[in-house]
Homo-oligomer: A and B are copies of this chain.
Amino acid sequence: METKTAVTLLAALAQETRLAIFRHLVVLGPQGLNACKIGEALAIPPATLSFHLKELAHAGLIKARQEGRFIFYSARFEAMGELLAFLAHDCCGGRECGLPASSECKEGGC
């Protein structure tokens, strides 16, 4: 993963409203939830919600799928996983460090 990509993902999550949205979607799994309901659940006004959903989607952390008149948003676990792997990469210079092993770490012998 490029450093710039990582910064984009981290910046997308480094905001209280967006982190709340993302975590709400993470728990719901692949089915997700439509924008309106997300706004209701977290008490976010439409314009603000739209802004943050776009940010998350642009970062690739969530994806949208049209379903009738609704747009369902769901978490993209791939992006999440790649970010975790990136953050744990080369942790402690290869020594034991107590971090949850990332996929890269496992193979490298972290």
Q: What residues of chain B lie closer than 8 Å to A19, measured between beta carbons?
A: 3, 6-7, 10
Q: How many monomers of this chain does the complex have? A: 2
How far does the Cβ of A65 sit from chain B's closest Cβ, in whole Å?
17
Contact with B along A78-110 (1 / 0, CB 8 A): 101101110110111101011111110100000
Chain A's interface: helix, strand, loop or mixed, by majority? Answer: helix
In the complex, are the beta carbons of B27 and A16 less than 8 A apart? no
- Considering the chains assembled together, what is the distance between the CA atoms of A11 and B18 in angstroms? 12
User: Residues of A at under 8 Å CB distance from B?
Assistant: 3-4, 6-7, 10-11, 13-16, 19-20, 23, 26-30, 77-78, 80-81, 83-85, 87-88, 90-93, 95, 97-103, 105
Q: Contacts A11-B11, A81-B100 known; list 16 others, CB within 8 Å.
A: A3-B16, A4-B16, A7-B15, A7-B16, A10-B14, A10-B19, A11-B15, A26-B93, A29-B92, A30-B92, A77-B98, A81-B97, A81-B98, A83-B87, A84-B84, A100-B101
